[in-house]
Structure 1
Amino acid sequence: MHRPFTAEAEVAGELAALRPGLVPRYSAELPGARAAVLTRLWRAFTHEPLPWLAGRAAGRDGVTLRLADGRRLHGPHPDPYATSGYVTEVRLDDRPYADPVRLVTALGVAHGTDFAAELGHSAASLALSRAGRPVHPKEWPTDDWEWEQRVVDGHPYHPNCRSRPGFSVAEQLAYGPEHGPVVQLGTLPVPAGDCLVTGEWPDGMRDGGRLLVPVHPWQAEHVLKRPCGEGFAAHPLMALRTLAEPDGRHVKTALSARLTSSVRDISVYSVGQSATLSAFAHAAAARMDGLLHVTRTLGAVTADSPDLAAVLRESPQAYADAGRGERVLPVAALTTTGLPDSPAWLAGFTRLALTVGLSMLELGVALEAHGQNLLVVLSATGDPLRLVYRDLADIRVSPARLARHGVLVPELTGRTVTDDERALRRKLFGSLVAGALAATAGSAGALREALASAVRELPRTPDLVALLEEPLPTKALTLMRLSPGTPGDQWAQLPNPLR
């Protein structure tokens, strides 16, 4: 059957002009990329509270979803914690669909047209990422940015795991970390009096009375639409807009593009709170007996605009002893090491992560500890030693819990501050357990075994009881994309792997 002009065809056409030798590999990766996106989509359909689904029924051969209009959608038994592309086809009534774009288009749900286009971008970009990934040596990297660039598939559970609308193929190859590029950042001089600055802005990024704000080249071309001064070369990290400078420092730039769910700019609010949050979180982590470190925010600046802002952070490598052969890597990169294949190793890592996460939560700090924000320091032999956390913009802080522990409440405002126990637990459990740990385990069975082993040695706090006995919260990522008029996070409940 003739396929209409799609994101896949568009990428193929651009690739043929830029890297013709890569076209066969890209074409070969497309079926697997569609399956990866379809697997994430099926997870959403079988667990999220989507308004156009009227019922779910499990049978011996899979799960059947009843749509509000009477149609039936049938697919395999879902594993909400699986990360491989095990869903290769679902059936809408009697018609099979292997392409997530065609499936969502056929469903005809509200806001589905835009979502289907994003899914097309996701599958095409994922195939491009898999086709263009460099061949890495077997030896473990020494630089943190090398670990970051080994993560190819993006978000482990979001159907838009690799959606990069607004990025051409040339731009994906030039800026996508999985392609291993070096990015030349620019700088834009802004009068210091026109900027909000927190922390210390380095002398090397000043020009008299002006501050030199680092700018991503994509942002300069597509959003600011103005040339920038010469900046410096840097290595893009998992977050795409965050890069490692030659001196090791990390710089987070504004990138006003929708990647997965969100537009990646930097709010004036987050810049204003960055120094206070950094000092507070650094002190809180010091209570964790050396098991947790938080990368310090060195300085942040905004020219009173989320489109022109930057944050400077220390490198997580500061918390690994290279002389002892230690390595620090994002949790999302653990699957590239083979270490999680060992049940004993996975249980030990899970115990470390839960010990730190639940201790911080008990103290009054809910970390958004997903596989990108949470890093682990490994010994020379691969043992998990301690954790490093970065990017404090989306943590939650509970004044009531802090007060119970005699901790001075920081001067914070807005969304960061809450005493809502459900919101605090959702933040940690949804990111750490349903996110980082689940993706590292790779399946419900492996996650169940790791959790069962780890929780036996943890203090039985009310938070642990909730983790053991209640459904596991996770962000309803597809519902959020299909609800553009609803602000904030929306949530789904996954079956508790321990029950």
Structure 2
Amino acid sequence: MTSLALGAPAAVATAAAEDVSLAALLRCCVREIAGPRGQVGHEGPYVLLRVAGTRLRVRAHGGLALRFEGRPEWLEDGSWRPLSVDVLVRLVETELGTGLGEGNDEFAAQVAASRDAIAALVAARQEVPPPTDPWLASEQALVGGHPFHPSPKARGGADWLRYAPEAHASFPLRLLGVRNDVLAGEGDTGVLDELGQAPPGYSPLPAHPWQLELLAADLAAPLADGRLIDLGESARMAVPTSSVRTVYEPLIDRCLKFSLDVRITNCVRKNSWYELAGAVELSRRLEPVFLDLAAAFPGTRWLPEPGYRSAKLGTRLLEGLGVIVRVGPWSVCRPGVTPLLSGALAAGWQVAGDMPDTVRSPVTGAVRSGVPDVARWRAAGAVPGVAGPPMTGTVPGGVPTGIAGVSVGLAGLPTADPVRWWRAYVERVAPPVLDAYVSHGVVLEPHLQNVLIGVDADGLPVEAVFRDLEGTKLVAGRHDLSGVPDRVAEALAYDAASGWNRVVYCLMVNHLAEIAASLAGTGSTRELWAVAGDVLAKYAASRGWPRPLSDLLSGAPLPAKANLSVRWTRSADRSAGYVTVANPLATT
């Protein structure tokens, strides 16, 4: 992830968006174009690569995470010149249009739209302060998006900024009344009844206001004939989390996962009917699994999705109005533990000013300890020894920018003993993910937006909270799905090889590699990976060294998701393939 500042003027916001977009696309080129073709090398401090026969170079560190310093350059007429997003897009179009034998007339526009969105987000963050809740502030910190995606903030639809978590948005939900003869749902959704009073014969259904705008034409008939009624806005402001469509509703202390019929990054983010049913099915099946994991690995937590509610008004509205209820993180973390989004830690999360020393529960009013100094993120230099930004440069006029418009550093990782912090982090996150697969046949999806790390009063990781059952799967053949509807069962299952690839990619490449790079700064990550290898080896020994773990620890290449190829071929995200990358455990 990429760190971005608050309070950046328009010129810096534009420059920041260019830098972030350029870095993301260049990382994709290293991983998916030049790397597999053997067109990546090193010369002094530079990584060199070729795209469409053109030489590029950039200073880099961070191992797999590919953190860049200074401006990337391209060789033109024998001279190194500053590289721009537009130049790199043209090179990618030439390379992939030739190599894959097909063009993509949407690609350049998607990259440009993502760049424009980042600029808009940086500018918007000047106007609204972040949430006082440190967990919600961390949820809203991912301004740069996925660091290995060609258009990390591409977002469909209009008026999206008012609902964007990165712009510190908050808004009231709309409440619909669903006539009970057309009410759809499964599991425990009683908490939704606390959001508002519905007339006799109706049940309340919260709705995302953006989605209601998108579904206006489809809703006209059921609103006219009384199958649905409009109950107005909810009493409290909901806060969107990092996934955009999932919000925190403070009145009921729950997260609510809505459908949004717009493309966000790779996918149209709607709750398909089989995903609605699948979330409830998985919550039932995972309860004993997580009880076992928590017993074996203290500090393991998860956020169940115990029910969904919608309306039986045809498939489009069943899916479009479907809302999944998810437990909130404060309710599963023990007192004194503060949950923070792992993606924000990897990004070098920066907030405006200090976080509060205490956090008051929006439901009970109880006061809980806030984030201590060592678990906060501040401007570089505020804490001795913090890491520098992943990429630095200047905007016109010579203003030093970092990626974000200021030099951003990392104070959430303790400077006194970062190796101890890292060991605690890996111990909390990695063994339960691996054991879910090895011992229980469950594929968790522990990417940076699906894991919250709970820190104690000293800022030390003591809990890991896993969430979002959409990407959680069951290994085929290890679970009896005979009583589950065929389409639901199909969506719940992975074969063993696909499941392992997903686990290893999310855990090692997407997650731990990014945290390690942030912790190491411009230094080497070698010592950190030696510690990670020790943690993983102890777990593997406790399970008799199963083959997948033996291969992982022996340095077998790792799978990395091919986001650039997915966007170029306009494939569904679930069809994404992998490229292999070097395993950092091989160098320890």
Paired residues of 1:104 and 1:116 also in contact (CA < 8 A): yes
| Deviation of the 1:84 alpha carbon | 4.4
Bigger Cα displacement from structure 2, 27-36 vs 150-159: 150-159
| Deviation of the 1:365 alpha carbon | 0.8
Aligned Cα RMSD in Å?
3.2
Paired residues of 1:50 and 1:479 also in contact (CA < 8 A): no
Kindly provide the amino acid, as one letter, of the partner of residue 339 in structure 1: G
| Deviation of the 1:254 alpha carbon | 1.1
Q: Given the alignment, which residue of 260, 263, 270 partners 1:258? A: 263
Query: What residue in structure 2 maps to residue 472 of structure 1?
Result: 558
Unaligned segments of structure 1, at least 5 residues: 1-21
Moved >4 Å (runs of 4+): 77-80, 92-97, 134-138, 140-143, 225-228, 408-412
Query: What residue in structure 2 maps to residue 154 of structure 1?
Result: 145
Cα distance in structure 1, aligned partners of 2:201 and 2:434: 46
Name the SS of the counterpart of 1:297 in structure 2: coil
Cα distance in structure 1, aligned partners of 2:49 and 2:68: 19
Q: Given the alignment of the two structures, is residue 327 of structure 1 paired with residue 376 of structure 2, yes or no?
A: no
Cα distance 1:426–1:224, how it changes in 2: closer, same or farther (>3 A)?
farther
Q: Given the alignment of the two structures, is residue 186 of structure 1 paired with residue 165 of structure 2, yes or no?
A: no
- Kindly report which structure 2 residues correspond to 1:83-482, keeping only aligned pairs within 5 A, or say none: 84-86=67-69, 88-91=71-74, 94=77, 96=81, 98-108=83-93, 109=97, 110-133=102-125, 142=133, 144-168=135-159, 171-172=160-161, 174-202=162-190, 203-204=193-194, 207-225=199-217, 229-232=231-234, 233-247=237-251, 248-288=253-293, 289=295, 290-303=298-311, 304-305=315-316, 306-322=319-335, 325-334=336-345, 335-336=348-349, 337=376, 338-340=411-413, 342-362=418-438, 363-401=440-478, 411=484, 413-418=489-494, 420-442=495-517, 445-446=524-525, 448-459=529-540, 460-468=545-553, 469-482=555-568
Paired residues of 2:476 and 2:496 also in contact (CA < 8 A): no
Q: Given the alignment, which residue of 69, 76, 81 partners 2:58? A: 76
Cα distance in structure 2, aligned partners of 1:57 and 1:383: 38
| Deviation of the 1:451 alpha carbon | 2.4
Cα distance in structure 1, aligned partners of 2:110 and 2:513: 25
Name the SS of the counterpart of 2:413 in structure 1: helix
Cα distance 1:398–1:457, how it changes in 2: closer, same or farther (>3 A)?
same
Cα distance 1:244–1:134, how it changes in 2: closer, same or farther (>3 A)?
farther
Cα distance in structure 2, aligned partners of 1:370 and 1:257: 22
Residues 71-130 of structure 1, C-alpha deviation per residue, up to 9 Å, x if partnerless? 334233766633645473342764856332442135433454312212112222223323
Cα distance in structure 1, aligned partners of 2:337 and 2:508: 25
Residues 227-285 of structure 1, C-alpha deviation per residue, up to 9 Å, x if partnerless? 85423221111111111112311111111111111111111011112211112112211
Paired residues of 1:119 and 1:163 also in contact (CA < 8 A): yes
Cα distance 1:82–1:59, how it changes in 2: closer, same or farther (>3 A)?
closer
Query: What residue in structure 2 maps to residue 19 of structure 1?
Result: none
TM-score normalised by the chain length of structure 1: 0.83
Name the SS of the counterpart of 1:65 in structure 2: strand
Kindly provide the amino acid, as one letter, of the partner of residue 88 in structure 1: R
Paired residues of 2:30 and 2:40 also in contact (CA < 8 A): no
Kindly provide the amino acid, as one letter, of the partner of residue 56 in structure 1: Q
Kindly provide the amino acid, as one letter, of the partner of residue 451 in structure 2: L
Paired residues of 1:32 and 1:85 also in contact (CA < 8 A): no
Cα distance 1:235–1:392, how it changes in 2: closer, same or farther (>3 A)?
same
Cα distance in structure 2, aligned partners of 1:263 and 1:165: 9
Paired residues of 1:192 and 1:209 also in contact (CA < 8 A): yes
Paired residues of 2:274 and 2:491 also in contact (CA < 8 A): no
Kindly provide the amino acid, as one letter, of the partner of residue 451 in structure 1: A
Kindly provide the amino acid, as one letter, of the partner of residue 460 in structure 2: D
Q: Given the alignment of the two structures, is residue 62 of structure 1 paired with residue 47 of structure 2, yes or no?
A: yes
Cα distance 1:333–1:409, how it changes in 2: closer, same or farther (>3 A)?
farther
| Deviation of the 1:49 alpha carbon | 5.8
Unaligned segments of structure 2, at least 5 residues: 1-6, 221-229, 350-375, 377-410
Cα distance in structure 2, aligned partners of 1:76 and 1:127: 23
Residues 53-72 of structure 1, C-alpha deviation per residue, up to 9 Å, x if partnerless? 865242525333253xxx33
Cα distance 1:83–1:344, how it changes in 2: closer, same or farther (>3 A)?
farther
Kindly provide the amino acid, as one letter, of the partner of residue 492 in structure 1: V
Cα distance in structure 2, aligned partners of 1:367 and 1:106: 36
Cα distance in structure 2, aligned partners of 1:260 and 1:81: 22
Kindly provide the amino acid, as one letter, of the partner of residue 437 in structure 1: L
Query: What residue in structure 2 maps to residue 7 of structure 1?
Result: none
Cα distance in structure 2, aligned partners of 1:50 and 1:224: 46
Q: Given the alignment of the two structures, is residue 48 of structure 1 paired with residue 32 of structure 2, yes or no?
A: yes
Sequence identity percentage = 24
Cα distance in structure 1, aligned partners of 2:578 and 2:552: 16
Cα distance 1:353–1:136, how it changes in 2: closer, same or farther (>3 A)?
farther
Aligned residues: 463
Higher relative contact order, structure no. (Cα contacts within 8 Å, ≥ 6 residues apart): 2
| Deviation of the 1:481 alpha carbon | 0.5
Paired residues of 1:65 and 1:74 also in contact (CA < 8 A): yes
Residues 304-341 of structure 1, C-alpha deviation per residue, up to 9 Å, x if partnerless? 3332211111101111233xx21112211224332336
Kindly provide the amino acid, as one letter, of the partner of residue 236 in structure 1: P
| Deviation of the 1:475 alpha carbon | 1.2
